[in-house]
């Protein structure tokens, strides 16, 4: 199966789980209000931020070494589990020391339940392990395993929200427990399946293996910090300079943006694994081909979402959410820039140069952070979106310049579609429709 076909299968999964995410967020807004939505976003962002900065680049090392067959999945998992447990202990100490500071900075205008913080922290190790397991599935192109994991998390979160928030009326506490249970169940199920599929694989625990994992992960880790600053810091800055209502409005503006970014996220982990298995020259051509295809797909998708989303989201969430529309449109432009930059990251990761990703992503993340500090007080949530736009204009320029320097390809090779690309799109669409007809035809036959 081609890279593109595996990629579109994974992207389809991401778009299939989007309605589950929408249902959960709509329930929270309708039952808890925009402020309640903002509080849940701040707390879940804190958990996601901690899980993101705590993995020390080991999932990236997993993609590189597992795809090359140098280190087994089980071995990397056990090393990662050790890091997860150590980092969880650090988080517990940090909560004891800095909980009051966190509350005063980001939740000062609301009455905070200490239980929210505990549940948020308990979700961190499960999020870390799920991130690793999902990354390995994507690297192998296992769309079915990835689909089962993501749909399972989405369904569990919807069910948990309905029971705990709507039926039992537990409010924000119920929403946080729903996130914890969904992540915990998914982690248990996926870990069990991973051990079944790797039965008989030896676990090698020695200094050489640890050194390889840490050295590769450390090079990628700077990029992880930069990505987390860009992805999560906006919610904290909005809560700090404005309030949790602003976080609620901005989180809805992020929905079409996240939908568009599900395309590069769906294919990039697999593309990194594919690049790891190629020599640098072939990897460069592979990434350049995917870049020019992704560029035009992202432009079309972002344009379509820009037409539809400003009308649909206020209908689903309430008329008040027209306030999200200006930021929404800016963020859709950001999704094109960031999606293309993410695509170029796969070349550096796949060819064993994750340090380039680390430095460039950190520069971009810090630039976004500095701009946001100045622009949020001036323009509110639109200021945060503009800071992201300016940062990733520079970020994409830097990634493109480094890719052209390393690969010695031309900008035209990256950006201009060729006849074979268009033919490939048409063939891929035909194969996808055939698969869909075959799948639904089989389902219909099964029900007769």
Residue 197 CB neighbour total at 10 angstroms: 11
Q: Is residue 328 part of a domain?
A: yes
Q: Is residue 267 part of a domain?
A: yes
**To the nearest whole percent, how much of the chain has pLDDT over 90?**
46
| C-beta separation of 45 from 236 below 8 A | yes
pLDDT > 50? residue 409: yes
| C-beta separation of 273 from 69 below 8 A | no
| Of the listed ranges 21-30, 33-42, 64-73, 423-432, the one predicted with least confidence | 423-432
Q: Is residue 437 part of a domain?
A: no
Confidence of residue 207 (pLDDT cuts 50, 70, 90): confident
**Predicted structure pTM score:** 0.83
Q: Is residue 445 part of a domain?
A: no
Digit-coded pLDDT (tens) for 152-193: 999 999 999 999 999 999 999 999 999 999 999 999 999 998
Q: How far is CA 311 from CA 17, 37, 315, 322, in A?
A: 21, 20, 7, 8
Give the number of domains in the chain: 1
Residue 280 pLDDT: 78
Q: Is residue 317 part of a domain?
A: yes
Q: Is residue 444 part of a domain?
A: no
Distance in angstroms (rounded) separating the CA atoms of residues 314 and 143: 33
pLDDT > 50? residue 54: yes
Q: Please, what's the largest Cα pairwise distance for the chain?
A: 63
The packing angle between helices 73-106 and 207-241, to 10°, is: 20
Q: Is residue 234 part of a domain?
A: yes
Q: Please give the average per-residue pLDDT across 79-97, as a whole number.
A: 91
Distance in angstroms (rounded) separating the CA atoms of residues 408 and 406: 6
Q: Is residue 169 part of a domain?
A: yes
Q: Which domain holds residue 328?
A: 3-417
């Amino acid at each position: 199966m081609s890279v593109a076909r595996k990629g579109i299968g994974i992207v389809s999964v991401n778009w299939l789980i989007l309605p589950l995410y929408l249902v959960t967020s709509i329930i929270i807004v309708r039952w808890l209000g925009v402020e309640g939505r903002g509080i849940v976003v701040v707390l879940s962002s804190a958990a996601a931020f901690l899980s993101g900065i705590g993995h020390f680049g080991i999932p990236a090392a997993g993609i590189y070494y597992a795809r090359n067959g140098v280190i087994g999945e089980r071995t990397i998992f056990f090393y990662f589990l050790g890091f997860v447990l150590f980092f969880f202990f650090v988080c517990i100490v940090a909560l004891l020391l800095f909980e009051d500071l966190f509350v005063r900075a980001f939740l000062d205008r609301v009455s905070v339940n200490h239980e929210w913080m505990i549940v948020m922290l308990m979700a961190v190790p499960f999020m870390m392990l799920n991130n690793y397991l999902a990354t390995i599935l994507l690297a192998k192109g296992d769309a079915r395993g990835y689909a089962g994991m993501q749909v399972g998390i989405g369904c569990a979160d919807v069910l948990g929200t309905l029971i705990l928030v709507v039926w039992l009326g537990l409010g924000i506490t119920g929403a946080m427990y729903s996130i914890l249970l969904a992540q915990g169940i998914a982690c248990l199920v996926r870990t069990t399946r991973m051990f079944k599929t790797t039965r008989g694989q030896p676990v090698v625990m020695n200094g050489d293996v640890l050194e390889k994992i840490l050295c590769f992960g450390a090079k990628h880790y700077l990029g992880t910090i930069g990505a987390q600053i860009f992805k999560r810091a906006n919610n904290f800055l909005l809560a700090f300079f404005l309030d949790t209502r602003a976080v609620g409005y901005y989180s809805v503006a992020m929905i079409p943006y996240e939908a568009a970014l599900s395309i590069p996220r769906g294919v990039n982990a697999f593309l990194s694994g594919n690049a790891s298995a190629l020599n640098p020259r072939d990897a460069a051509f592979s990434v350049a081909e995917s870049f020019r295809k992704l560029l035009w797909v992202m432009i079309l998708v972002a344009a379509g979402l820009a037409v539809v989303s400003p009308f649909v989201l206020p209908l689903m969430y309430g008329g008040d959410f027209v306030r999200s529309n200006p930021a929404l449109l800016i963020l859709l432009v950001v999704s094109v820039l960031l999606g293309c930059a993410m695509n170029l990251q796969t070349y550096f990761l796949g060819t064993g140069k994750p340090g380039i990703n680390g430095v460039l992503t950190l520069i971009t993340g810090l630039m976004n952070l500095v701009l946001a500090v100045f622009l949020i007080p001036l323009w509110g949530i639109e200021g945060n979106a503009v800071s992201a736009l300016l940062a990733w204009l520079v970020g994409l320029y830097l990634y493109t310049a480094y890719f052209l320097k390393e690969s010695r390809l031309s900008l035209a090779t990256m950006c201009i579609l060729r006849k074979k690309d268009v033919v490939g799109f048409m063939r891929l669409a035909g194969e996808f429709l055939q698969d869909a007809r075959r799948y639904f035809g089989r389902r219909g036959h099964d029900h007769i």
